[in-house]
């Protein structure tokens, strides 16, 4: 069974989510990524759906870029923290760092580095990942 990882990112950073999927495939990492493409944290149905999708995940990766604003990813991060799943913050660009959400204060935040991302996924358990 694949390790389930929820990816939290700004809607404008969708290309990085797709890059993450591609790197996992080419690196033969047995992982199933999920995320909420449309961000509507003010809509109760959206919040319920978000909670339902994060709950079964073993961990979450937070993509941090210039489109990340303080609080913009708050509901998804709040859900992940409520379920006490491991979080990894990943800066998308070392030159144009986005705001690190305050919810990641006690968690590891790295520059985009596939080996480190794959290691995080492997450590979540149940994955036969190779980097």
Report pLDDT digits (tens) over 79-89: 999 999 999 99
DSSP state of 123: H
Task: Read off the pLDDT of each residue in 58-63 and give the average, rounded to a whole number.
Answer: 96
Rounded CA separation 55/109 (Å): 22
Count CB neighbours of 22 within 10 A. Answer: 10
- Position 1 pLDDT exceeds 80: no
Cα–Cα distance measured from residue 116 to residue 22, given in angstroms and rounded to the nearest whole number? 16
DSSP codes of every residue in 11-53: GGGHHHHHHHHHHHHHTT--EEEE--SS--TTSHHHHHHHHHH
Residues 18-29 have a mean pLDDT of 94
Distance of alpha carbon 13 from alpha carbon 110, whole angstroms: 17
Pairing of the two strands 3-8 and 87-91: unpaired
| Least reliable range by pLDDT among 15-19, 68-72, 91-95, 109-113 | 68-72
User: Mean pLDDT, the chain, as a whole number?
Assistant: 88
Looking at residue 121, what is its pLDDT? Answer: 96
Q: Hey, what domains does the chain have and what are their CATH numbers? A: 8-123 (3.40.50)
- What is the tens place of the pLDDT at every residue in 94-129? 888 888 888 898 999 999 999 999 999 999 975 443
Cα distances (angstroms) measured from residue 112 to each of 1, 22, 38, 89, 90: 26, 14, 23, 9, 6
Mean pLDDT of 61-83: 84
pLDDT at 130: 43
Q: What is the pTM of this model?
A: 0.90
| Closest C-alpha among 4, 64, 74, 12 to residue 34 | 4
**Looking at residue 88, what is its pLDDT?**
98
């Amino acid at each position: 069974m694949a390790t389930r990882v929820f990816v939290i990112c700004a809607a404008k950073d969708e290309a990085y989510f797709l890059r993450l999927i591609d790197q996992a495939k080419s690196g033969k990492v047995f992982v199933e990524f999920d995320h909420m493409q449309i961000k509507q944290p003010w809509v109760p149905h959206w919040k319920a759906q978000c909670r339902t999708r994060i709950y079964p995940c073993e961990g979450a990766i937070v993509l941090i870029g210039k489109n990340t604003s303080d609080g913009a990813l708050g509901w998804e991060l709040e859900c992940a923290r409520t379920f006490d799943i491991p979080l990894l913050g990943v800066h998308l660009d070392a030159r144009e760092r986005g705001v690190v959400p305050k919810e990641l204060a006690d968690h590891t935040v790295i520059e985009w580095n596939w080996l480190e991302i794959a290691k995080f996924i492997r450590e979540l358990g149940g994955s036969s990942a190779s980097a």
